[in-house]
Amino acid sequence: MEQRKEETARAGQGVKQAAVRSAGMTAAQQSDSRVYRLVVMAMLIGLGVVISPILRVEGMCPMAHLINITGAVLLGPWYSFVIAAIIGILRMTLMGIPPLALTGAVFGATLSGILYRLSGGRLWTAVVGEIIGTGLIGAMASYPVMTLLYGRTGLTWMFYVPSFIMGTLIGGTIAFFLLSALRRRGTLRAIQHKLGVQRLDRLPHA
């Protein structure tokens, strides 16, 4: 009887030690994921600032929408919002871009991530979120901002809609094909897992 009690006690201690080791590994993995997320954020911010002049005219910045959708899919809506906001502020500060750098980015980045999550990870919903968030909401929000804060005259609520939508279609198309290629190779799923974000990548569907 005593031998059995000792064996049971030892087994219990072994289970507790294993649980402690498992918890420690989980905490370490979570810490690593936070670091990876910050690194990816920094990379997207830097890349977004550098490539933003490509194909850009006032009211249309396709590369910003590429970064928005990529950030939304890899990191989620709140991270993509922060990325878009920081890129916009840097572009305004360093490049003299008007407030369109913010109004034409933050709404689409956020809605892109939200729709991607709500759809269970369909890439096309991230693109649609960017089109609606930037092409419609951001474009109409730009009217009072540019009129009241920037002193522009002759604008209307729909003034920026055509150019914003055109920009989102170009950037969204590039992002969709890029992320689709990563998904087919299994790279997208691996990156999301490494970042510790909710894994929503759907293999059979876009």
Q: What is the DSSP letter of 204?
A: S
How far does the chain reach from its first CA to its final CA, in angstroms? Answer: 62
Report the CATH number at residue 79: 1.10.1760.20
Within-domain flag for 106: yes
pLDDT tens-place values along the chain, 206 residues long: 555 545 544 544 544 444 434 444 466 666 778 889 999 999 999 999 999 888 888 778 899 999 999 999 999 999 999 999 999 999 999 998 999 999 999 999 999 999 999 999 999 999 999 999 999 999 999 999 999 988 888 889 999 999 999 999 999 999 999 999 999 999 999 999 888 876 555 544 45
CB 115 within 8 A of CB 75: no
Within-domain flag for 164: yes
pLDDT recorded at residue 122: 94
pLDDT recorded at residue 126: 97
Within-domain flag for 20: no
Within-domain flag for 136: yes
pLDDT recorded at residue 149: 84
Within-domain flag for 160: yes
Within-domain flag for 162: yes
Within-domain flag for 23: no
Put simply, whether the predicted model's pTM sits higher than 0.85 gets the answer no
Within-domain flag for 109: yes
Report the alpha-carbon angle 172-66-185, nearest 5: 85
One-letter amino acid at 117 equals R
Q: How many domains does the chain have?
A: 1
**pLDDT tens, 61-109?**
899 999 999 999 999 999 999 999 999 999 999 998 999 999 999 999 9
Question: What are the DSSP calls for 114-176, one per residue?
Answer: HHHHHTTS-HHHHHHHHIIIIIIIIHHHHHHIIIIIS---S--TTTTHHHHHHHHHHHHHHHH
pLDDT recorded at residue 43: 96
pLDDT recorded at residue 34: 85
Measuring CA to CA, how many Å separate 85 from each of 78, 180, 188, 193? 11, 26, 24, 25
SS3 60: strand
Residues 87 and 44: their CA atoms lie apart, in Å, by 9
* 51: containing domain: 34-195
pLDDT recorded at residue 26: 67
Backbone angles phi, psi at 55, to 5 degrees: 65, 15
